[in-house]
Amino acid sequence: MLYKRLGGSGLKVSALGLGTNSFGSRADEAASARILHTAIDRGINFIDTANIYSATASESIIGNALEGRRHDVVLATKAGLARGDGPNARGSSRYHLMLELEDSLKRLKTDYVDLYQIHTFDPEAPLEETLRALDDMVRSGKVRYIGASNYAAWELMKALGISDRLGLNRFVSTQTSYSLADRTPERELAAACLDQGVGIISYFPLAGGILTGKYRSGEAAPAGSRAATNPGFTRFFDENNLALGRQVSGLADKLGCSASVLSLAWLMKQPAVSTVIVGATSTEQLEHNLGSVELPLDAAALEELDTLSRPFRNGEPFALYRLS
């Protein structure tokens, strides 16, 4: 396994991380535990979850499965998106974050998380309030590092500026949608991260499966796929996206690998990226994607992938989660 520093911190994370939003929904508890144990056995140490995944079931499953293996992983969770209908059941206020951290710790069966992330920017909570709350969490020992998620470049820079001015712990990472089908972070965010020592944690690295080439225009989604279990996902079936999936599959065939392995390997080569989180609903799927860590990509392959995906620098983000 390849390990990289998480931004400018001293923390080392696996180049391929495990996303767990399927735990408790598309993968039951037994399957999720097998996936998690396989990931750890194969050297993956970055495990990413959130308080809202599968209505909190993801955190609970991870807590059960990690008993006796807690220190083998860098455990990351998030808070900030809606957990209910109440006026304080969302956002980045001290009130909400403190409550959610305690609940996450109970479900995860641990007394600390390695990386606590704000799931999205909150336009109503003062950033100073949010950052002071996060700093208090670090000082209490319940959180080791802090990160952002779904922040625009200006929002991230504003937060870093406040932390620097007040002498607070600063974000070491930010999560964003980033893939061959979504290169919008390269417009501003990636450069800001490189300049400020913030590591990008890329989610949707396969564009929800589109970059595997398994979705074809006019054909039914494969059984068990994200689009089959969540029909709303077909809103991403833009012909440009599907065409890119076919083109990446064609290049992968020439290189003797799968489109998913090729797409993940390309993303790992991007200089601002610290880790690429990919989900799995079976150990076989996870084992397959692990091939991306060791896939060699020469200059010609990288140039072709850059050419194929260049138009996706200028569109809309593939995914962006914000408070309404």
Checking if the pLDDT of 176 tops 60, the result is yes
pLDDT > 90 fraction of the chain, expressed in percent and rounded: 90
Residues 112/138, Cβ–Cβ less than 8 Å: no
Catalytic residue status for 203: no
Question: What mean pLDDT is reported for the chain?
Answer: 94
Task: Name the catalytic one among 3, 53, 178, 321.
Answer: 53
Domains (ranges, CATH) in the chain? 3-313 (3.20.20.100)
Summarize the confidence of residues 259-282 as an average pLDDT.
97
The predicted-structure confidence for 200-259, as pLDDT tens digits, reads as follows: 999 999 998 999 887 765 555 565 555 555 666 666 668 888 999 999 999 999 999 999
Alpha-carbon distance of 118 to 111, in angstroms, equals 19
The per-residue pLDDT for range 78-119, each reduced to its tens digit, is 999 999 999 999 999 999 999 999 999 999 999 999 999 999
The answer to which of 11-20, 51-60, 160-169, 204-213 has the lowest mean pLDDT is 204-213
CA–CA distance, 92 with 70 (Å, rounded to integer): 27
DSSP run (H or E) holding 253: helix 239-255
Strand duo 12-14 + 3-5: pairing: antiparallel
For 184-201, how does the pLDDT look when each residue is reduced to its tens digit (9 = 90+)? 999 999 999 999 999 999
Which stretch of DSSP H or E encloses residue 192? helix 189-196
Q: In DSSP terms, which residues pair with 145 in a beta bridge?
A: 115
State the maximum Cα–Cα separation within the chain, in Å, rounded to a whole number.
Answer: 55
| Distance, CA of 318 to CA of 181 (rounded, Å) | 7
Average pLDDT of the residues in 280-307: 96
Tokens for 238?
A: 């833009």
Give the pLDDT mean for 128-140. Answer: 98
Contact (Cβ atoms closer than 8 angstroms) between residue 67 and residue 36: no
Calculate mean pLDDT across residues 147-157: 98
Say which residue, 240 or 156, is predicted with more confidence.
156
